[in-house]
Amino acid sequence: MNFEWTEEQRAFRDTLRAFLKAELPDDWESIAHHGPGSAEITRFSRRFCGRLAEAGMLFPHWPVEMGGQGLDAWYQTILAEEMWAAGEPRGAQYMNVNWIGPTIMRYGSEEQKEKLLPPIVAGNAIWCQGFSEPDAGSDLASLRTRATLEDGKYRINGQKIWTSYAGLADNCFLLTRTSDDRKRGITILIVPMDTPGITVRQIPSIIGEGDIHEVFFDDVVVPEGARFGEEGQAWEIISYSLRNERLGIPRYHLARATLDRAVGLLKANGRWEGEAVKIVAALAAALCETARNDCYAIVEKRVQDLPIGAEASSARYNVVLAERAVAEFVVEYVPQALIDAEPYLKMHHQRGIVAGIASGAAEIQLNIIATEVLELPREPR
Amino acid sequence: MELSISEDQRQILDALDGLAKPYASVPIHDISFALTSDALDAELAGNGFLDVAAMDDLGPETAAMVVERLARLPFAVETAATALVRPLLDPELPRPLCLVEDGAQGNAVRFLKPGATVVVVGAGGVRSFTASEAHIATAHDESIFAYPMAVLKALPAETEMRAYDVPAAQVLTQWRIGLAAEASGLLAAALAATVTYVSERKQFGRPIATFQALRHRLAEAQVVSNGCYWMTMKAAVSGDAGDAALAALHAQEAARRVTYDYHQFLGAMGMTLEHPLHLWTYRLKALIGELGGRGAQGLAAAEAIWG
C-alpha cells in the first residue's frame, strides 16, 4: 500500500493550484460563497472553464480520442478536490466533465455528439438534470412527467423539482415516462431550456443561490431526435452515468480544508486554548480523513477497473458525517466567522447540509449498505 | 496511491487464515469472559506471523493487517504490542508484551502475568522489565474486559529497568496503530456476529434484521468500522504521529458508538455468556479506555496536526 501521491500527481495538483491562483479574482471568496448555481459563478464559469479547457485541465481524465489526456481517476479526483475546495469555479460545469460528457460520448447519436459536445469541451455549457419530482425523490423510478410521441415529436407534461442550475441552464437531461413499466418505461430527452412551455421557479434556499428550482413542463414539444438512447433505456443509461459520479463531489476535501482554516483562525485569535476545542477538532478531522480514505479506496477500484458496489454508499455516508462534524465545529467554536468575516467558512456551513440530501439521501445509502454490504434480509415492501 | 494489498501480503493473510481456522469458532455454552488459547499463541509466534513488521517488503502495514485479522478470532491473543512495538525495541523480548504509560501503577493491564515483558512509556522514556508476582496485585482471569488482565501493583526502580534509545513518541505512535488495528478486527467480528444473529432471529413473523430501526444503526456501524480499517492502514504505512492518533481516536469513537447497540440488538441473548459477542465487544471496551481514551487521542492528534 502507498498513500502518497506520485510525483506526476503532485505536479498536476501544483499546476491546478497555480492556475487557480492566477485565474481567480481577489474577491473570489465573496463570490464563491453564493454557491456553484449562482448567477455570479455561472457567469464566471463560462470564462473560467474556457481558460481551463485551453490549459488542458477541463477534462484531462477523458480518453485521448475524445480530446482528453486519458489520465486515470486519481487525476479526476485531484481536479475535483482542488476545484471544490476553491469554491467550485467551474460552477455547474463540473457535472459536464464528470458524467454528462462521458454519457453523451457513450450513448449519444452522432448528431447529438456533434451538437452537444463542442460547448462542453469549450467550457461553455450549462446543464441541469431533470430527475426528481414532487412525488419521486428517493423513489426516482416512480416519476410521472409524461412524454408522448405524436407525429415525430415528443409532447412533455409534468413537473420536476430540486433541479440544480435550472434557471441558467442551456439544456436539461430530462427523465420522462413514456410507458407504465416502472423502470423500463423511463426515457431520456435532451430539452433546450428555452423551449416554449418550460417555466422555472427558483426555490429560496438556505444553501446558496441557484441550487434548487421547480421546473414545469406544459405541452413542451421537442423533436423525436431529442430522445437520448432508446425509449425505456433511461435507467440503464443513468446507472452507467452515475457510476462515473458515484462519489460525487469530494466534500471531505473542503470539509478538511475548512476545519484547518477554522483552527487557524482560532489560533490567530488566541482561542485555540483548552482541551475541548482540540478534541472536538480532532474528532472532526478523523471523520474527514476516514471519509477521504473510503473515497480513495473506491477511486482505486475505478483505476483498476474493478466493479464498484455498495461500498460507495458507505463512503458517501462517511462524507455526510465529516461535513456535519466540521460544520458543527465551526458553529460551536468559530460562530462569529459565519456572520461575515470568513466567506469560506460560510460557504462550507451553508452547503454542508447538502451532503446527506442530494444525489440519494443518506438514509437510502444506509438501506443500500444494510442490504448489499451487510447482506441483511430485505425489508418487506 | 496504491491501496491494494501486495501478493506477498495476500499470501501471508491466506496462510494466517489457514492457521487460525481451527480457532475461528467456539462451542456455544463454552465461553468465559476471557477466552485464550496457548496453542494458538504458540503457533502464531512459532510461525513468525508477529515478526512481519521487520521483514523486507512487508513492514508495519502487514503487521497491522495481521493484528486486525487475528483480532477477529474469539480467542484473545497478544499481537499488537508484539507485532508493532517490539520491533522498535528488541525483537527477542519475551511475549506477551504489556504496554503501560508512566504512572500506570494501580491500573489493570492487558495480558499482564508473571514472565510478561512490561514496556513502560512516557516522559521517563521507554523502559521494560519482566513482570513477576511482586509487580502484580491481582490476577483477573475473569476480567470483565474479555482480555486476561491483572493489576500492575508497582514498577521496579528505574535502575532495575532496561532503557531503550527509542523516543517515547515513536512507541506511542506504534501503540496507537496497534490499538486501531486490533479495534478494526474486533469491530468487524462483532458486527458480523450481530448481523448473523439479527438475520436469523425472527419476531413478528420475520427476521428482526428487516426492521429499519436496526438496519440503519447497523449500516452506520459498518461505515464507522470500515473507516477504522483504512485509517489504520494509512497510519501503519506512514508511521505518522498524527495519522496514528487519528486512527486510534476514530477506533475508540467507533467502539464507543457500537458496543451497546450490538448487545441491544441481541436482546436477552446479548446479556448472556452463551453468545460469543462479548468476546469482541468487551475487548473493545478495554480499548476505549486505553492510552487515556478519546480525549487523549484527540489532544495528541490536534498537537500533531495543528501544533
pLDDT tens for each residue of A92-126: 999 999 999 999 999 999 999 999 999 999 999 99
Q: Which of B7, B203, B211, B215 to mutate to test the interface with A (most CBs of A within 10 A)?
A: B215
Residue A276 contacts B where some CB pair is shorter than 8 Å? no
User: Distances from the Cα of A73 to the Cαs of B141, B172, B204, in angstroms?
Assistant: 52, 36, 47
Superfamily of domain A246-373: Butyryl-CoA Dehydrogenase, subunit A, domain 3 (1.20.140.10)
Which residues fall within 8 angstroms of residue A42, CB to CB, at 6 or more apart? A91, A92, A126, A165, A168, A210
Residue B143 has pLDDT above 80, yes or no: no
CA A94/CA A144 separation, integer angstroms: 28
Which residues from chain B sit within 8 angstroms of residue A287, using beta carbons? 250
Question: Which of B3, B215, B237 has the CB atom closest to A367's CB atom?
Answer: B215
Measured between beta carbons, which residues in chain A are less than 8 angstroms from residue B61? 1
Asked if A366 has any chain B CB less than 8 Å from its own CB, the reply is yes
Mutation pick from A13, A273, A289 vs chain B, by most beta carbons of B within 10 Å, is A289
User: Least CB-CB distance to B1: which of A2, A317, A375?
Assistant: A2
Chain B hits for A4, CB-CB cut-off 8 Å, are 1
Give the list of residues 6+ apart from residue B210 with CB closer than 8 angstroms, or none. A376, A377, A378, A379, A380
Contact across the interface for B61 and A321, Cβ inside 8 Å? no
Does residue A163 contact residue A214 with C-beta atoms inside 8 Å? yes
Could you say which of A6, A317, A380 has the minimum Cβ distance to residue B210? A380
Task: For chain A, 381 residues long, give each residue's pLDDT as a single digit of tens.
Answer: 999 999 999 999 999 999 999 999 999 988 888 888 889 999 999 999 999 999 999 999 998 988 899 999 999 999 999 999 999 999 999 999 999 999 999 999 999 999 999 999 999 999 999 999 999 988 999 999 999 999 999 999 999 999 999 999 999 999 999 999 999 999 999 999 999 999 999 999 888 888 899 999 999 999 999 999 999 999 999 988 876 666 678 999 999 999 999 999 999 999 999 999 999 999 999 999 999 999 999 999 989 989 888 889 999 999 999 999 999 999 999 988 877 778 888 888 888 888 888 878 899 999 999 999 999 999 988
Closest residue in chain A to residue B218, using alpha carbons only:
A370
Find, among B138, B91, B92, B90, the residue nearest to B114 by Cα.
B138
Any idea where the domains of chain B sit in the sequence?
168-306
The region, left, alpha or beta by phi > 0 then psi within -120 to 50, assigned to residue B111 is left
- Taking CA atoms, what residue in A is nearest to B212? A379
User: Domain B168-306: which topology?
Assistant: Butyryl-CoA Dehydrogenase, subunit A; domain 3 (1.20.140)
Say yes or no for a CB contact (<8 Å) between A377 and B210: yes
Q: Is A57 helix (H, G, I), strand (E, B) or coil?
A: coil
Fold of the domain spanning A7-125 = Butyryl-Coa Dehydrogenase, subunit A; domain 1 (1.10.540)
Domain A128-233 sits in CATH at 2.40.110.10
Grid cell digits, residue A96: 459536464
Tell me whether residues A282 and B211 touch, CB distance under 8 A.
Answer: no
Q: Where are the domains of chain A?
A: 7-125, 128-233, 246-373
Which of A267, A286, A376 is nearest residue B249 as measured by Cβ atoms? A286
Query: pLDDT tens digits for A148-194?
Result: 999 999 999 999 999 999 999 999 999 999 999 999 999 999 999 99
Q: Which residue has the cell 477504522?
A: B228
